[in-house]
Amino acid sequence: MSDQAASRQSALPADILAEQTTLLAQLDHYIDAPTGSVIPPIYPATTYARDAQYQLPSHGGTYIRDEDPTVAQVETVLAKLEAGADSKAEAMLFGSGMAGITAIMRAAIAVAGQQGRRARLAIQRSMYFGTVKLVETLVAANAAEIVWFDPHQADSLDAALDQPTDLVWIEVPSNPYLYILDIAAIAAKAHGVGAVVAVDGTVAPPLLSRPLHLGADLVFHSATKSLNGHSDVLAGLVTTIQTDHPIWTALRLERKLGGAVLNPFGAWLLGRGLRTLAVRVERSCQSAQAVAEALEQHPKVHRVNYPGLTSHPDHDLAQRQMPGGFGALMSFHVTGSSEAALSVIEKLKVIIAATSLGGPETLIEHRHTIEGPDYGAADDLLRLSIGLEHADHLIGDLVQALDSL
C-alpha cells in the first residue's frame, strides 16, 4: 500500500463491512422456498391473478407498475446495503438513472404543489451534465424556482438557502471533477429551511460512503454503474429512511404513473451484479489509487482529480466521509490542448474509449467532446473509470500513451 493510500484515517467499521459483504454475496441469504435454489427466479409477468375471494397475491401487486417480486427482492437488499440491515429503509428502483433523478425532482415539485406553493429547488453547480440539462428543462418549462449554488464558494449555499426551499440536490463525489462536499454540513443548513436533501452517490457506492447516516434524506445511484458493475443493465435507485415523508409517497406515485419501472430481467441482472460488488469495489479502489499516483508523477499531466491523493483540495473531507475508500473514478488534465488529450486516447491499447463508469473494463473519455463547451469540462481533461484489470497493465498503457506526446 502506498503512503498516500495508507494516509486514509479510517476504514469502514469491520462489523459493517462484514455485514455488507455477506449481505451482497448471498443476496440477503436468499434461498427459494419451493425449490431450495440459491438463485432467485425471474418473474416476468405483467399482471397477477386474484384468489377466489378476490384478494391480491401475497406480494401485494396487481400489475407490474405497482410491484414486481423480482424487483422487490433486489430493492430489499439495496435498502439494507445503503442504510443497514436493522434500519427501516426502503429502496425504489427505476428503469434508468435519469428516470430516478427526474422522478425525485418531479416529486418535490408535486409535494409543493399539493401544499399550494411553487417549488424551490437548490441545485449544485459542476456535476453530471445530464442532471444539469434536466434542470435546464425545468427552468425552460417554468416548473419550479431553480437556484444554483457553487459549493466551493463560502456564501453561495447560504445565499441559495436564504428562504424556505423544497429540495437541495448535491452530487458527492462530483462527476467529472471529483469534488467532495460536506454532506452533514449541507444537510444541517438545508433542513433549517425545510428542504429535503438528495445526494447523488453514484461515484461512491454504499460500501464507500453512507450519506443517509450523514443527514441526507434521499440517496440516488445510477445502478447502471458500480452497483450492477457489468455494463449490461440500465437502472436507477433511490433509498430513504424517511419512508413516511410526503416526497417518498410522491416518488412512488411518480414511478407508477410515469411508468419508469425497472424490468424484471434488469432487476435480476442487477442482483447478480450485486453479489460481487464488495470484491469489485475493493479491487478497483486499490487500482485507482495506484493509477492516480502514477499519473500525478507524469510530466505530461498537470493535474489529477482523485480524492485519494493528498494533493486533492477535499482530501481531508474525503477521508472522513468516504471511510470505505476513494472510488474508481478520476479525471486528469493533459498538458496541452484538446488535441493532446485526444491524442492520448488514440494511443491507448488496453483502456477502452467509451462512456460510462463502474464496469469491469477501464474506460476513458474526453468529456468536453461529450458535453460540449457549455457544461464546464475543460478541453484538456480526460475522465478515467478504473475497472478490474491489473493496475500495472493500466499504468503501462497510460504511460506509453502520454510518453508519445
Q: Is 225 a catalytic residue?
A: yes
Strand partners, 199: 170, 219
From the candidates 80, 120, 189, 225, which is the catalytic residue? 225
Strand, helix or coil at 404? coil
Provide the greatest CA pair distance for the chain.
75
Total number of residues shown for the chain: 405
C-alpha cell at 227: 452497483
Q: Which of 65, 125, 256, 320 is catalytic?
A: 65
- H/E element holding 332? strand 329-334
300 among known catalytic residues:
no
Among residues 101, 100, 92, 97, the alpha carbon closest in space to that of 239 is found at 92
128 catalytically annotated: yes
Distance CA 367, CA 13 (A): 36
CA distances from 117 to 166, 191, 217, 353 (A): 10, 18, 21, 46
Decide: 78 and 94 in contact? Cβ < 8 Å.
no
DSSP assignment string, 70-129: HHHHHHHHHHHHHH-TTS--EEEEESSHHHHHHHHHHHHHHHHHHTT---EEEEESSS-H
Catalytic residue among 68, 182, 200, 397: 200
- First vs last Cα of the chain: how many Å apart? 30
Which position among 43, 48, 128, 306 bears the catalytic label?
A: 128
What does the DSSP 8-state code read for residue 231?
S
List the catalytic residues. Answer: 65, 128, 200, 225
